[in-house]
Amino acid sequence: MKTLLLFLFVAVAAVYSQVPERCEAPQAFESKIGRLDTIRGFFLRAKVSYDARNMRTRVIEEVETREERDYYDVLYLHNTQPGKEYRFNLKTKQCETTMLNTTFRRFEIPDFARPLGEFTVGTKGEPGEGVDVTLWGGRTEDGADWAGVFTLAGCVPVNDRYIRNATSFDNIDFYDVTLGIANASVFIPPHECMP
């Protein structure tokens, strides 16, 4: 009986260890990202500066000179009423300022998300060859499907997927994340955007 109880206890502990704990993602960070833009129909790389406390994000796309495409440097300010978007075209050097009608996009585990497991990116073979991550998913208020991957240590975003429908989705991979904002002037609109 004692052995059986011990066995059950160990089994229960093993099951619980598979359920990742909700964690709090960093409130401010900078990162290189890879992003599949289904609206424009191509994959692009960019640098992101993200400040959740003040609800502001800057996304500076990397210009691929071999491609005849428009690339943008976009500043999203949600801390003004209404929010503002400064969209600077890196090719034409024209800036367009519009009101923001969307809510601030947070890179964190939302309340509606369920834990979908704990995994290793890479391999567990040797120390340093893998990174332990947790996977979360759920449905947003507006009916979109969301899934996110976060590192187990530090709760740093690794991947963020926002799926409106089969043809319209946003997939972001985060690389080389640094915590905090190196220079807060990244949240000042480019001078080309000022009247």
Ligand X SMILES: *[C@@H]1O[C@H](CO)[C@@H](O)[C@H](O)[C@H]1NC(C)=O
The one segment of 7-15, 53-61, 108-116, 163-171 that binds ligand X by CB under 6 A: 163-171
Residue of 1, 99, 125, 176 that binds ligand X (CB under 6 A):
99
Q: How far is the CB of 99 from ligand X (least distance, A)?
A: 5
> What is the rounded CA–CA span in Å between residue 190 and residue 58?
11
131 counts as binding ligand X under rule CB under 6 A? no
Q: From the CB of 166, what's the least distance to ligand X, in Å?
A: 6
Question: How large is the greatest C-alpha to C-alpha distance in the chain, in angstroms?
Answer: 80
Tell me which of 64, 168, 175, 178 binds ligand X, using CB under 6 A: 168
How many residues contact ligand X, by CB under 6 A?
11
Stretch that binds ligand X, among 7-15, 65-73, 96-104, 153-161 (CB under 6 A): 96-104
Phi-psi region of 16 (alpha: psi -120 to 50; beta: other; left: phi over 0): alpha
Among 51, 73, 85, 160, binds ligand X (CB under 6 A): 85
Residue of the chain from 68, 185, 191, 195 that contacts ligand X (CB under 6 A): 185
The answer to whether residue 178 forms part of the interface with ligand X (CB under 6 A) is no
Q: Tell whether residue 81 is a contact of ligand X (CB under 6 A).
A: no
Among 80, 94, 165, 178, binds ligand X (CB under 6 A): 165
Q: Please pick, from the candidates 3, 18, 101, 123, the single residue that binds ligand X as defined by CB under 6 A.
A: 101
Q: How far is the CB of 60 from ligand X (least distance, A)?
A: 12
Q: How far is the CB of 87 from ligand X (least distance, A)?
A: 8
SS3 labels along the chain: CHHHHHHHHHHHHHHHHHCCCCCCCCCEEEEEEEEEECCCCEEEEEEEEEECCCCEEEEEECCCCCCCCCCEEEEEECCCCCEEEEEEECCCCCEEEEEECCCCCCCCCCCCCEEEEEEEEECCCCCCCEEEEEEEEEECCCCCEEEEEEECCCCCEEEEEEECCCCCEEEEEEEEEEECCCCHHHHCCCHHHCC
Name the site residues for ligand X (rule: CB under 6 A). Answer: 85, 98-101, 164-165, 167-168, 183, 185
